[in-house]
Structure 1
Amino acid sequence: MKLPILTIVVPCYNEEEVFEETYKQLKEILRDLIDEKYVSNTSKLLFVNDGSKDSTWEKITQAYLQDDSVHGIKLARNFGHQKALLAGLEDAVTYSDCVISIDADLQDDVQVIKEFVIKYLEGYDVVYGVRDSRETDTAFKRSTALGFYRLMDKLGLPLVNNHADYRLLSKRALEALLQFKETHLFLRGIVPLVGFKSTKVYYDRKERLAGESKYPLKKMLSFAFDGITSFSIKPIRLITVLGFSASFISLLAAIYVLYQKFATDTVSGWASVMISIWFIGGLLLMSIGLIGEYIGKIYEEVKQRPRYIVEESLFHESKVDQYMKQKVFE
């Protein structure tokens, strides 16, 4: 049986402090998989530099020069984690039988990569890496993350709870994923839409080895909101419900005011008027803002700008030649 060609895709942004250890650990895992005959000896590591401002690209280049299994892609600027990951996936699909994506910070347990490959060999097209617990998170991050998954479930979005972007995709699953052409990427929401046979591998998430998180609170909230508005129109429907509710409340208030006017001859209070104005005004502004968010997404989608631009690629041509020869004789 022909061994599958595996590519491990690693998006990197300002990872100079952790890159060498990341490369070392992933290289060891890849070597073990090759030695144990789980994957082909043409399997590789693909590092995607997402416009880093430090020496990350220089370190990727150094690894490439000393190791034939290392490939590198340098994006022209910082396009964001999801688009950097997509750049690696689109490159890897041309010469890989299966692809594993993992972040460079080593918080995801690299030791379960072997389990990913075993599940793939058992016939699974998608293998999700799922956190066994969130004990390493702060109480705030843990509660907000769980709240986000509950909200997404209420909105009918098929997310895998406690899964980020640590996963394995077979070639056909990856080809199906790349048919989704939206500009605003939320890959953990798109992958379940692909279908195919899937399973989960559980692991304990570690503390970041070095450097700082690339997802502060502001980015996390933006990412979550992007995921909600990219996959559901229920927030728009919620506005409609709020509008009808506000109208109903206003009708009750009108009945109350008329009763006060004709039955008790009292003048309506200033407080009730101001509360009504602020309530309706806030509801309108929120509604306009949410509708504007959807319109803005439509505006960016219809322009069809490239999702990323590659400035430089580091690629060992011998690997490609060897892969193409295998395909010819199959």
Structure 2
Amino acid sequence: MLDPELELSVVVPMYDEEEVLPIFFDRMRPLLDGLGIQYEVLVVDDGSRDATASMLIAAAGDWPQLRLVRLLRNSGHQAALSAGFRRARGKYLVTIDADLQDPPEVIAEMMTAVKSADVDVVYGVRSDRSSDSFGKRTTARMYYRLMSRLVGKDIPFDGGDFRLVSRRVVDAVNGLPEDGRVFRLVIPWLGFPSTEVAYVRAERAAGHTKYNLTKMFRLAFDSVTAFSAAPLRLATWLGLLGGLLSAVFVVGALAIKLAGQSVPGWTSTVLAVSVIGAIQLLCLGLLGEYVARLFQSSQKRPQFLVGYDSLEDKGHQALDEESVRS
């Protein structure tokens, strides 16, 4: 829903970020006020269990551009971004995480780039990730290389979820029928004109990461299964390989039998069963992931449910701290 008076919406997903919020307020507000445009900061609280929501409610009293959208339960980072896309009202939309590893100061460069280059998407690309751990840098490189091979080379390497998009892109994303979208793949896939702004990734300003190794692997697997049938093709090739191995074992067994050198033994049997059984289980697992996605899609359950939007509740009694936490 576009508000003609709003130039920019800054969407910030948050989950248990009470430690970083004071720093976030101190850096974000002066920056956005200095742009000289009408804006809103749309914070999507992804079911936080700490004082994040109550601190945001309190801050909104002094910062009228701050808006809180609270999901009923923790739905995940990509779902929180989807909620922000659906509720943002600005002509342009920026997505940024609350940990300030992606510097808010780059937003001004993005606004300049989107207008001067006449594009619809400006990707924030990390030129230096030395602040990240070795394991995170390694898995990130593996992820982007894999996605470039499976999905296409239009995906910005080290792009992440720090980007600016125009209202055309927002409407296109909201019009997609799929749930569980991965934004760092969906937006490049749409094919809108784009450019990049490089920046140095900083250390987390406060608190600790909520995106552990398990969630990163889940994102990678969702990315693959949502955008490519390559795993199904892999299952097919593994099935063919298993068939060839079986044929080799049969031919070998017949040759040994005809030569009169057949010796009962368990090694070859165990080897054959182990190899073919492993391939079959892997293929079944890959097929099961796709069937699960079809099943979830057929249920048509909403990806997220909004429990509170401070914009809609203006003029009503503010939530007290206990009701916000519930």
Q: For the Cα contact (< 8 Å) 2:11–2:42, is it kept in 1?
A: yes
How far apart, in 2, do the equivalents of 1:76 and 1:135 lie? 36
SS of the equivalent of 1:290 reads helix
How far apart, in 2, do the equivalents of 1:109 and 1:15 lie? 17
Deviations 1:154-182 (CA, angstroms, capped at 9, x unpaired):
22345321111100010111111111222
In structure 1, the partner of 2:110 is 116
CA deviation after TM superposition for structure 1 residue 316, in Å: 8.0
Q: For the Cα contact (< 8 Å) 1:7–1:100, is it kept in 2?
A: yes
SS of the equivalent of 1:66 reads coil
How far apart, in 1, do the equivalents of 2:139 and 2:103 lie? 23
CA deviation after TM superposition for structure 1 residue 137, in Å: 2.3
Match of 1:148 among 136, 143, 149: 143
Q: For the Cα contact (< 8 Å) 1:257–1:268, is it kept in 2?
A: no
How far apart, in 1, do the equivalents of 2:280 and 2:245 lie? 15
- Residues 197 and 3 from structure 1, CA distance in 2 versus in 1: closer, same or farther, beyond 3 angstroms? farther
In structure 2, the partner of 1:31 is 33
2:266 corresponds to 1:270: yes
How far apart, in 1, do the equivalents of 2:148 and 2:293 lie? 22
In structure 2, the partner of 1:49 is 45
Give the AA of the match of 1:203. Answer: Y
Match of 1:225 among 207, 221, 243: 221
Q: For the Cα contact (< 8 Å) 2:6–2:40, is it kept in 1?
A: no
Match of 1:99 among 93, 99, 115: 93
Q: In structure 2, list runs of 5 or more residues that go unmatched.
A: 315-326
Q: For the Cα contact (< 8 Å) 1:183–1:300, is it kept in 2?
A: no
CA deviation after TM superposition for structure 1 residue 198, in Å: 0.3
Match of 1:206 among 202, 205, 213: 202
Deviations 1:106-149 (CA, angstroms, capped at 9, x unpaired):
11011211110001212111001111032222222222221122
In structure 2, the partner of 1:14 is 16
Match of 1:244 among 232, 240, 244: 240
SS of the equivalent of 2:94 reads strand
2:75 corresponds to 1:79: yes
Provide the TM-score with structure 1 as the length reference: 0.89
SS of the equivalent of 1:110 reads coil
How far apart, in 2, do the equivalents of 1:6 and 1:194 lie? 21
Q: Identity of paired residues, percent?
A: 37
Extract structure 1 runs of 4+ deviating beyond 3 A.
none
CA deviation after TM superposition for structure 1 residue 66, in Å: 1.2
Deviations 1:88-117 (CA, angstroms, capped at 9, x unpaired):
11111xx31101010001110112111100
2:126 corresponds to 1:131: yes
Q: For the Cα contact (< 8 Å) 1:260–1:268, is it kept in 2?
A: no
How far apart, in 2, do the equivalents of 1:316 and 1:148 lie? 39
How far apart, in 2, do the equivalents of 1:109 and 1:82 lie? 20
CA deviation after TM superposition for structure 1 residue 265, in Å: 2.1
CA deviation after TM superposition for structure 1 residue 185, in Å: 2.0
Task: Calculate the aligned-residue CA RMSD, in Å.
Answer: 1.8
How far apart, in 2, do the equivalents of 1:96 and 1:224 lie? 30
CA deviation after TM superposition for structure 1 residue 286, in Å: 1.3
Larger helix percent: 1
2:161 corresponds to 1:165: yes
CA deviation after TM superposition for structure 1 residue 4, in Å: 6.5
- Residues 268 and 255 from structure 1, CA distance in 2 versus in 1: closer, same or farther, beyond 3 angstroms? farther
How far apart, in 2, do the equivalents of 1:87 and 1:70 lie? 16
Q: For the Cα contact (< 8 Å) 1:71–1:316, is it kept in 2?
A: no
In structure 1, the partner of 2:7 is 5
Report how many residues are paired. Answer: 309
Give the AA of the match of 2:217. Answer: L
In structure 1, the partner of 2:321 is none
How far apart, in 1, do the equivalents of 2:63 and 2:124 lie? 27
Q: In structure 1, list runs of 5 or more residues that go unmatched.
A: 35-39, 319-330
- Residues 232 and 107 from structure 1, CA distance in 2 versus in 1: closer, same or farther, beyond 3 angstroms? same
In structure 2, the partner of 1:195 is 191
Give the AA of the match of 1:221. Answer: F
Deviations 1:184-205 (CA, angstroms, capped at 9, x unpaired):
2211110112222101111111
